[in-house]
């Protein structure tokens, strides 16, 4: 995506870019699905997407599919989209509403909104068969700042322990209370790691993002998370600029709880492995990444604003949306031509520059995760 400033203190001396196989190998991609996306906490969206009982959306990752569903007790759960009878995908639609139950389209096994089996035709004479022993399988789910995270592992590392460095860090933005104004889905012909690495440095900004550098100097700011699964920091806004928008003016009144230096900065963080979080004075933007193959990714971008802004006549979310949609597409292009170049047999890893410390730190976390059973 875009921007991270340099921090020579966090520069990993001797770091080199990842080898070719990490971006093109089907075997490596399958290993990523198992070691990283099968064991990490993945951002799947926002609680506001399913506000009422029965509302759901489907999240797909590799071979796995989850139904993210709010039940009648107002609890959100993640159920594997797999019928307990013959393994059929229970839900085919990307989102919707279950009126009172969930029914498999193959043999009509039926589940309540908590995933309990309540109907199993022709099974009443099967010896020792009990409905209570056959609920939909459930994946771990946690809500943080209004974001929903799932973990596909049967024994996930506790969310609170993994996310300890971030708990309370963004409280001033009141992200849980913000609401989506726009969501755009992109299909990018590039490896998911190239998207994270590109987001994590601004070495490319002057050449690729001339509109961005007019609003936020690429050498400004400081990184405050420089190792581990969470990386990033802030960049300063130009003194004449209110926010990162097409006009340079704020697209909504600043988030009411913000004050001081946070009104003149934009913060950018990568949250391993699939979330990019950008905090502005007037809105919060986030991306989620879904690897589709070694050379293709789906990216969803969402813009969140304070709920009071939506009724105001001076609310112009498109000013922010258009700016980042333009910037996103610039980034996707350079990621795609990077993918094409890395696929060449002559590509070789090369040293990172000092102001590319965050991509180097991301690589280190990636390699650690690829070698670790969690």
The secondary structure element, H or E, covering residue 147 is strand 147-151
Contact 54/111 with Cβ under 8 angstroms?
no
Give the contacts of 112 (CB within 8 A, at least 6 positions apart).
Answer: 71, 100, 101, 102, 118
Contact 131/115 with Cβ under 8 angstroms?
no
Contact 277/284 with Cβ under 8 angstroms?
yes
Q: Which two tokens stand for residue 102?
A: 């969930």
The strand pair at 76-80 and 138-144 is best described as antiparallel
Tens-binned pLDDT, residue by residue, of the chain (374 aa): 344 444 444 456 789 999 999 999 999 999 999 999 999 999 999 999 999 999 999 999 999 999 999 999 999 999 999 999 999 999 999 999 999 999 999 999 999 999 999 999 999 999 999 999 999 999 999 999 999 999 999 999 999 999 999 999 999 999 999 999 999 999 999 999 999 999 999 999 999 999 999 999 998 989 999 999 999 999 999 999 999 999 999 999 999 999 999 999 999 999 999 999 999 999 999 999 999 999 999 999 999 999 999 999 999 999 999 999 999 999 999 999 999 999 999 999 999 998 999 999 999 999 999 997 54
Closest CA to 51 of 140, 139, 135, 148: 148
Give the contacts of 154 (CB within 8 A, at least 6 positions apart).
Answer: none
The vertex-78 CA angle with 77 and 83, nearest 5°, equals 120
d(CA 58, CA 307): 26
d(CA 170, CA 159): 17
What SS3 state is found at 93?
coil
Contact 194/23 with Cβ under 8 angstroms?
yes
User: Which pTM does this prediction carry?
Assistant: 0.95
Closest CA to 181 of 45, 318, 314: 318
How far apart, in Å, do the first and last CA atoms of the chain sit? 29
Give the contacts of 127 (CB within 8 A, at least 6 positions apart).
Answer: none
Predicted pLDDT of residue 6: 43
299: how many CB neighbours lie within 10 A of its CB?
A: 23
φ, ψ for residue 78 (rounded to 5)? -115, 115
Q: What is the DSSP letter of 18?
A: P
Burial of 145 (0-12, 13-18, 19+ CB in 10 A): buried
Torsion (CA) 45, 51, 52, 55 in degrees, nearest 10: -30
Predicted pLDDT of residue 14: 82
Largest CA distance in the chain: 76
144: how many CB neighbours lie within 10 A of its CB?
A: 19
φ, ψ for residue 316 (rounded to 5)? -130, 70
Q: Which two tokens stand for residue 363?
A: 């690589």
Q: What domains appear along the chain, each with residue ranges and CATH number?
A: 8-40+177-370 (3.90.380.10), 50-141 (2.102.10.10)
Q: How many helices (H) and strands (E) does the chain have?
A: 8, 17
Q: How many CA atoms lie within 13 A of 123 on its CB side?
A: 18
């Amino acid at each position: 995506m875009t921007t991270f400033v340099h921090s020579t203190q966090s520069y990993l001396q001797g770091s080199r870019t990842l080898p070719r196989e990490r971006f093109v190998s089907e075997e490596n991609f399958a290993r990523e699905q198992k070691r990283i996306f099968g064991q990490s906490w993945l951002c799947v969206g926002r609680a506001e997407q399913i506000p009422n009982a029965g509302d759901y959306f489907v999240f797909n990752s590799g071979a796995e599919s989850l139904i993210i569903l709010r039940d009648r007790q107002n609890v959100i759960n993640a159920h594997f989209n797999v019928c307990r009878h013959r393994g059929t995908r229970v839900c085919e639609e990307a989102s919707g509403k279950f009126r009172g139950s969930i029914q498999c389209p193959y043999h009509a096994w039926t589940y309540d909104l908590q995933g309990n089996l309540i109907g199993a035709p022709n099974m009443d004479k099967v010896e020792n068969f009990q409905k209570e022993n056959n609920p939909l399988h459930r994946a771990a789910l946690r809500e943080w700042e209004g974001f929903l995270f799932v973990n596909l592992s049967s024994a996930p590392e506790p969310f609170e322990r993994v996310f300890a460095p971030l708990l309370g860090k963004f409280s001033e933005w009141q992200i849980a209370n913000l609401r989506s104004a726009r969501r755009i889905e992109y299909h990018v012909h590039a490896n998911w790691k190239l998207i994270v690495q590109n987001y994590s440095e601004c070495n490319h900004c002057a050449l690729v993002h001339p509109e961005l550098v007019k609003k936020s100097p690429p050498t400004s700011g400081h990184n405050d998370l420089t190792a581990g699964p969470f990386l990033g920091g802030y960049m300063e806004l130009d003194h004449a600029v209110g926010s990162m928008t097409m006009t340079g003016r704020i697209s909504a009144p600043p988030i009411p709880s913000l004050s001081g230096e946070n009104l003149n900065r934009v913060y950018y963080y990568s949250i391993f492995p699939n979330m990019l979080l950008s905090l502005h004075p007037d809105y919060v933007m986030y991306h989620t990444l879904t690897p589709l193959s070694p050379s293709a990714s789906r990216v969803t971008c969402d813009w969140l604003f304070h709920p009071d802004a939506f009724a105001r006549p001076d609310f112009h979310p498109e000013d922010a949306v258009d700016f980042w949609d333009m910037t996103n597409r610039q980034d996707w292009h350079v990621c795609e031509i990077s993918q094409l170049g890395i696929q060449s047999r002559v590509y070789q890893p090369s040293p990172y520059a000092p102001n590319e410390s965050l991509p180097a730190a991301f690589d280190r976390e990636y390699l650690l995760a690829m070698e670790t059973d969690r």
